[in-house]
Amino acid sequence: MSFPELEHFVRVLSSLPGIGSRSARRIAFYLLKSDLRETEDLAETMLDLRRRVRFCSLCGGLSTGDLCTICSDPTRDRSQLCIVEEPSDIFAIEGTGEYKGLYHVLMGALSPLDGIGPEELRIKELAHRLDTERFSEWFVATNPTLEGDATASYLSDRFKRDTIRFTRISHGIPTGTGIEFADKSTLARSIRERKTLS
């Protein structure tokens, strides 16, 4: 028995990160069993998210306007810049209440095997910020993975300045785990105990 519409939906859904074909099939059957209005609400919500939420023109975090609420907040510590891989990392760090500075999202990490070099990341925008803003600390909060560590080393080597202290998130987060999956207390401790990059 073949239903091309079902198979197409499963194929599209399983292309999303973290959703395999079995999970996609389960979601498809759930939607087929649920009320049509619930499925329409889900579709409308997804479209609304995609149409209204964009990336901040300065930091690369999520925003509904040109600048996000963090970049436009005059009470943030503008001498500190936290560099993260993905916009979702900002949510995780903000959830700890330990950091009050600004952010810069790279949109990934260096991974030569996957063809991701400095040109594929928002490093040119980071260099521009170094030229136009005054920072005393760059807090590199890339994931504690091989790619995250390589990215942190690259940034430290390329942008080293006597006037800027480079710090790295403490490795209280298990190696190989993304920041967004760390529990609040572990992430908070990692931020408090960040260390200077040599």
pLDDT, tens only, 150-169? 999 999 999 988 888 999 88
Domain membership flag for residue 107: yes
Same structural domain, 75 and 34? no
Mean pLDDT score, 109-120: 93
Token code pair at residue 24: 């996609």
CATH no. for residue 186? 3.40.1360.10
Mean pLDDT score, 181-188: 77
Q: Which has more pLDDT, 191 or 25? A: 25
The answer to whether 10 and 21 are in contact (CB under 8 A) is yes
DSSP character string of 7-68? HHHHHHHTTSTT--HHHHHHHHHHHHHS-HHHHHHHHHHHHHHHHH-EE-TTT--EESSSS-
Of the ranges 51-55, 73-77, 105-109, 177-181, which one carries the lowest mean pLDDT score?
177-181
Per-residue pLDDT tens over the stretch 4-56: 899 999 999 999 999 999 999 999 999 999 999 999 999 999 999 999 999 99
Same structural domain, 19 and 85? no
pLDDT at residue number 104: 98
The answer to whether 176 and 155 are in contact (CB under 8 A) is no
Domain membership flag for residue 94: yes
Same structural domain, 67 and 27? no
pLDDT at residue number 32: 93
Same structural domain, 38 and 127? no
Same structural domain, 28 and 108? no
Confidence of residue 105 (pLDDT cuts 50, 70, 90): very high
Same structural domain, 101 and 156? yes
The answer to whether 155 and 122 are in contact (CB under 8 A) is no
Domain count, the chain: 2
Distance CA 105, CA 75 (A): 20
Distance CA 77, CA 29 (A): 48
Same structural domain, 66 and 155? yes
Same structural domain, 175 and 105? yes
pTM to 2 decimals? 0.79
Long-range contacts of 8-11 (CB under 8 A, 24+ apart): none
Query: Which region, left, alpha or beta, applies to residue 60 given φ > 0 means left and ψ of -120 to 50 means alpha?
Result: left
Same structural domain, 37 and 130? no
Range of the domain at 173: 62-196
Question: Does residue 175 register a pLDDT over 70?
Answer: no
Same structural domain, 71 and 108? yes
Confidence of residue 183 (pLDDT cuts 50, 70, 90): confident
Same structural domain, 85 and 34? no
Same structural domain, 76 and 23? no
Domain membership flag for residue 57: no
CATH no. for residue 11? 1.10.8.420
Question: Does residue 171 register a pLDDT over 70?
Answer: no
Distance CA 164, CA 155 (A): 12
Nearest to 110 by CA among 97, 123, 95: 123
Residue positions counted in the chain: 198
CA atoms within 13 A on the CB side of 120: 11
Distance CA 175, CA 186 (A): 13
